[in-house]
Amino acid sequence: MSPHDESTFPGAWSPETIRTEVDRIVSVHESGELPSIVQLGHPVLRMPAAEFTDQLDPAALRAFLDTMRAVMIDAPGVGLAAPQLGIPLRIAVLQDLYETVPEIAAAREREPLEYLEIINPRYRPVGDRMASFYEGCLSFNGYQGVVERPADIATSFRDAHGATVERHFSGWQARIFQHETDHLDGIVYIDKALTRSLCANHEYPRWANPGIAGARAGLGF
């Protein structure tokens, strides 16, 4: 039986079950294909992921992280959490090196984010500054919505070698970190979105401005 058929997440998953499913996902990648991204409605996206306590040995962890990165880039996306591949572990990868229109980059404080692997991440707001912008999700295909989030955060996580890392992020980098960490708590961005802002991807160009004032006026949120 595939672990995706189990009725409870993630408590029913033994380390052996996790390793077996990770091996399957990695083997898909090694065969020249990419595993599918889990979509909203699957229970793995709605359960808190388990702390990573070395359920995977270093080689298996490295192979899984590399697979996650390949899926994220191919999607394309700027982040991917392990539950989005059906694995209930507190692991995510982030990267945002896409070119952006300067006006939009300035309004959204969007700076390049070099590839980053975060394991057992936590974050907390720093100060009272908030920012509201559109977000999309690889596990909720076809839509985007406005989410208000802290603009500045302090984070802690471990890297793939087990070292503890503490970093501050602001602007779009902070948004990406929060979005992916939320996945590990069973939270999808739509849970925090202003629902009247929700729009289909093919309608989003109407509102792809540096800020959200036009969308706020046009959609009434």
pTM value?
Answer: 0.93
Which range is least confidently modeled, 5-14, 18-27, 90-99, 196-205?
5-14
| pLDDT tens digit sequence for 67-104 | 999 999 999 999 999 999 999 999 999 999 999 999 98
User: Beta strand pairing status for 130-136 and 113-125?
Assistant: unpaired
Residue 135 has pLDDT above 70, yes or no: yes
Q: Which fold has domain 3-219?
A: Peptide Deformylase (3.90.45)
Q: Where are the domains of the chain?
A: 3-219
| pLDDT tens digit sequence for 49-66 | 999 999 999 999 999 999
Q: What is the mean pLDDT of the chain?
A: 94
Angle at 59 between CA 176 and CA 84, to 5 degrees: 35
Query: Is residue 111 flagged as an active site residue?
Result: no
Distance CA 166, CA 123 (A): 10
Residue 8 has pLDDT above 50, yes or no: no
The catalytic residue among 99, 117, 180, 203 is 180
